[in-house]
Chains A and B, each alone.
Chain A
Amino acid sequence: MAPFLTIGLGVLSGVTASGNRFSSSAYSVMPQKQTSTGAAVVDFLVVNKLGDNFHKLHSFLNLKNGWNGYDGKSFSKLTINRTLSILKKLNVQPKMFPTGRGTIQLEYHIDDDNLVEMEVSSTEISVLWVIDGNESEEEISDIRVASKKLNDFIS
């Protein structure tokens, strides 16, 4: 299968390399690239790289206020897009969970003494590091810096 598929008229549908069927009508935020002719194409390389996280991330857009049985907030497209930008840059896909405050948490858990929890919102990226049992928290403003730090941790 070609890695890219041109978006034509109507609903785009296809099958990713991992065999998951999808339709663009279900995804209002798709990783796209421009061809030399200027046409927008879906970046299948990104879809495949993210694996289950791609579908999971987009499913968060369907979570309405109160989704967690309490006061859970819905998720903005900006938060989804910022998270997507980070995921695209990661060498190893993290575990990913929605939080009740409308943020998305990315986790690498090596063991109880070595883990990272990164919370992505539409405006902030905040991180809990546990390194050799020592906790620290950090705010990161730049998506590239956040991705690099996660890659450094997991490597």
Chain B
Amino acid sequence: MSLLMEQALNGVQLGVTLFLLAAGLTLIFGIMGVINLAHGSLYMIGAYAMAAVAAGTGSFLLAFPAGLAAAGIAGVLMEYLVVRRLYARDHLDQVLATFGLILFFNQLTTILFGRQPLFVQIPDFLNGSVMIGGIVRYPVYRLAIIAVGLATAIGLYLLIARTRLGMLIRAGATNREMVRALGVDIRLLYTVLFGVGAMLAGLAGVMAGPILSVQVGMGEQVLILTFVVVVIGGVGSVRGAFIGALAVGMVDTMLRAYLPGLLRQLMAGPDADALAAGLSAMGVYMLMAIVLLVKPQGLAPAHG
């Protein structure tokens, strides 16, 4: 029971991390019509900036905003220099140009920080674990990730549903041309939105830093999972991104936790572990295939 509870919390934690990435990706796609492969790079930039500042100053409280700022600035620059010119292009051009950006960012990071992964200490005030409901001890840091992720999800909902910016975002997603025709400075809106998406990706990277190793290539690993989330949830839908992220986080975590045990009852230990690792890595893609068979537009499509 306590293992199940712990794994469920792990699933939620992976889910909210994926949500932060998927929300940015799906908003940017839904409104600007741009598919941004370099979204994972922003996640990596957030994590690296955080790791570098934490190593330099020893302060998590400085490193946290530094990571966010680095991702945000990188995102705004990316929009201003490259992505802005891709709005009118087809998806193919967008994919290739942002693929070029990934090559650049990955190699630049290798030059700056080397190939060795960086490790970041969990800050003291978030270290340790607490009992939850008398059933399971759970690390405070992971709970904090869940809390921040959920708070961001609520904040994002309020931003989109209740503010003027959110109104423009919704209007832009429904009919871009009409919003432009009504005199909204759409360029500024796009840049702001891209920056917001970048900061969400950076936030995910910053929070993942202390529990994963910070290394080149971390962005693409998570990017492809994010794509799965977006496809499952429905492209352009933030609500779908939330549902999809939790589903993917949960399925992935549960398969990794329980599949080796199940398979070990059927075959020898090392074989079972290898097969289980493979199957659980494939699990979320199977989930995506099933969702597609039933609902090709995703679970919560953006329009209709």
Q: Does A pair with B?
A: no
Residues of A within 8 A of B (CB): none
